[in-house]
Amino acid sequence: MKNMNKKHFSYLLIIILETIVFIKFFINRFYFFDDTLIYARYIRNFTKGYGLVYNKGELFNGLTSPLFTYINLLINSIFEIKDQILLNNSIGYVFIALSMIVIYKILEKINLSKVIISSILILYSLSNIYLFLGMETGLYLFLIFLLFYSFLIEKYLLYFIVSALLLITRTEGVFFIISTLVLFFYEKRSLHKNFIPYILISSFIVIGHYGFNFLYYGNVLPDSSKAKVYHGLSKFWGNRYDFVNGTLDLITYDYKSRNLFKYLYYFILIFIPFTIIFKKKTAFDYYLILSCVFLISFYLYFNVPLYNWYVTPLIFTKIYFLVTGIAFFINFIIRPKENKWMLTLVGVIIAMLSFTLNYNNKFINSHHPGAMQRERDYFKIAAWIQNNTKENESIGTAEIGIIGYFTDRKIIDLCGLVSKDNAYFLSNKDLDSWINIHKPTYILFHEPNWEIETDIPNKHKNYYLVKEFQFKDYKMYKLY
């Protein structure tokens, strides 16, 4: 009977959690932000027969998550999905939904109580990760958790396959693999006789992918990954302090405008270091701690600009240590196991905190009015470009997602995420070479110029201001 009740509890909790995630996905199923549409244009061009390229006839690997792209292409080839934005979001939703189940299995396996498991998963289901659905975030998180679960239950064939898939989802996935290897030797596990064939199977996956990259694009790693390193060297996107501050902002910003609630939240954050220092740690604790330390150290070393979806594993890590920290503290003070009625109170307190402290700002990626206005402007600018330029003309600009997806013009990305050498120029503070080399027909800049945008009237006399282009805060130049 006890096992039946436990099973019923598991099913009920999962149903509730998946319902929450689905509702949030459904409400935001058409939501996107500028960067998500880079993937979308690659995939759309492939389905149109142009190849896996951003610009027709131009081989440049701007796909930082190949596995996400492959899954997208597979679904497209079977069902011919017309709405690429909805498909991107749907794939992200499916993997976030699957990650809920894997996390539950992990938390159950490390013997956390029903109250703690419920609180962690409620908070996770309410978290802002669903707003990164258009990116590879859902797939990335799912594989991170599945990697540890396969390690935990010693299913090593699954472990090595997931390792390979994680590596081709995001290159930084290697740090989660390293963490499990550290734990393997720390726990003094024995080498399995089938490790060599397992490693060979995972190697075929990795070699197959990187071999395709080399044969198709001429490079093993994505050019856009190298571009992010160049962005860090340029310092245009800030320094290490800005990365740390931005990461903290991602984890805490939901609470900054809530008057007294923000002070309550900052007080509660104390439970995180308290837990890490004093609580008896499980292998899962060490996995999260080590992986996040490796991940952040890598980003800081290369001064990689902060993109919110890079550090989404920290969101779950915050949730996990916050809830387990509160439970550990309460258990230490009032020992609810000895006072059963207190256990209910603890559950209510943690559940309330989960709801209260994880309220979502819908526009996490465009959370200030200026950013939202900019995206609305880009829709209008894309329409202007489509109606006022010729098919063989090119557009040079700093933000390419919306403008690239809603036009069929060649796009020159001055940041170098889909255009050769431009990120390298930025790393040398060279703001002009990209124009001299690529010679875009039109150049879209901001008014006033962003720091990465050059002074065209004084440095590039072969461009003139397009007076017909009437958009506040923007200016368009055309090549004579």
**What is the enclosing helix (H) or strand (E) of 434?**
helix 433-438
- Looking at residue 204, what is its pLDDT? 95
Q: Can you say whether residue 51 is alpha, beta or left, with left for phi > 0 and alpha for psi between -120 and 50 degrees?
A: left
Averaged pLDDT, groups of 10, the chain, 480 residues long:
66 91 86 84 91 93 91 89 88 94 96 86 79 85 98 96 96 96 94 91 94 92 88 86 75 53 65 80 95 92 84 88 81 63 60 53 43 77 94 94 93 93 93 95 95 94 94 93
pLDDT of residue 255: 45
Residues 430-451 pLDDT 10s: 999 999 999 999 999 999 999 9
What confidence score (pLDDT) does residue 361 get?
Answer: 45
> What beta strand segments (E) does 94-174 contain?
none
Among 71, 96, 73, 88, CA closest to 35:
88
The token pair at 38 is 């880079």
Q: Name, in order, each residue with C-beta under 8 angstroms of 405's C-beta and a sequence gap of 6 or more.
A: 37, 40, 41, 44, 382
334 C-beta neighbours (distance < 10 Å), count: 14
* Number of other residues whose CB lies within 10 A of the CB of residue 422: 24
> Residue 441 has which token pair?
């027909």
3-state secondary structure of 169: coil
What distance in Å separates the CA atoms of residue 411 and residue 108, rounded to the nearest whole number? 49
Give the residue carrying structure tokens 């996390």: 103
Sheet with 474-479: list strands edge to edge. Answer: 410-413, 394-397, 442-446, 474-479, 463-465
Largest CA distance in the chain: 83
Residue identified by tokens 């930025």 is 426
Q: List pLDDT tens digits, range 319-363.
A: 898 888 877 877 777 665 555 555 666 666 665 565 555 544 443
**In the numeric block, which tokens belong to residue 308?**
């919110």
Instruction: Please write the tens of the pLDDT for every residue from 32-41.
Output: 778 888 988 9
Q: What gap in Å lies between CA 332 and CA 278, rounded to an integer?
A: 11
Apex CA 25: angle with CA 23 and CA 26, to 5°? 65
Cβ atoms < 10 Å from Cβ of 23:
12
Q: Residue 23 corresponds to which tokens in the numbers above? A: 């509702």
Between CA 274 and CA 262 the distance in angstroms is 19
Could you check whether the bond before residue 448 is cis, i.e. omega within 30 degrees of 0? Answer: yes
Neighbouring CB atoms inside 10 A of 1's CB total: 5
